[in-house]
Amino acid sequence: MGALLRRFWGLCLLRAGPQDLPPSQVLAALATAAYLASGVALLAVEGRGTAAAVAPALADLAVMVVLLRLALAVRGVPARFRQTYTALTGSGALLGFLALPVAAVLAQAAAAGRPAPAALLAWLGLVAWSLAVIAHILRHALSVPPAVGLAGAVLYLAASMAVVGAMTAGGG
């Protein structure tokens, strides 16, 4: 387990690529469970409650799957799906769990009606870090230049935020 966590951490540090993960269905399932758990926790910490956070977390995952399958098909490398998907969900879970304390501080500040500039700055840093990790993974999976990987990362995050935002609007 420690070796797998180090591989996912290596992805987060941009030192490993999706090709460094085994093409294991079990690992993909574990990474998916961790990704969903971190997504539900992040949405729940905003005051939505765990049950209300499940559907948006699943929608985010569906957006990832659809866009990833489409991008890999367009590039003619659909066989890279499992490792790329595992890389995205595993690294996303790690970054999601790292973001939990920051999200909690931001939620408490919003509920109290006071600013939390340090937490907001940390949140923006985590978003930038997530973009860099997703771009890095896509660059390797699609064999494209870094700028194209970054464009793919921005597209995914924008699509995910639009879908999740539409599902959670007015709910918290």
DSSP state of 69: H
Segment 23-34 shows an average pLDDT of: 96
DSSP state of 114: -
**Rounded Cα distance, 4 and 74, in Å:** 30
pLDDT in tens, 105-129: 999 999 999 999 999 999 999 999 9
In a domain, 70, yes or no: yes
In a domain, 87, yes or no: yes
**Nearest Cα to Cα of residue 138 among 128, 126, 125, 152:** 152
The answer to whether 17 touches 11, Cβ cutoff 8 Å, is yes
- Structural domain count, the chain: 1
pLDDT in tens, 53-76: 899 999 999 999 999 999 999 999
The two tokens of residue 119 are 């937490």
**Nearest Cα to Cα of residue 47 among 94, 108, 132:** 108
* Structural domain of 71: 1-8+18-170
pLDDT at 136: 98
In a domain, 13, yes or no: no
The answer to whether 149 touches 75, Cβ cutoff 8 Å, is no
pTM for the model: 0.93
Q: How many residues are there in the chain?
A: 172
In a domain, 99, yes or no: yes
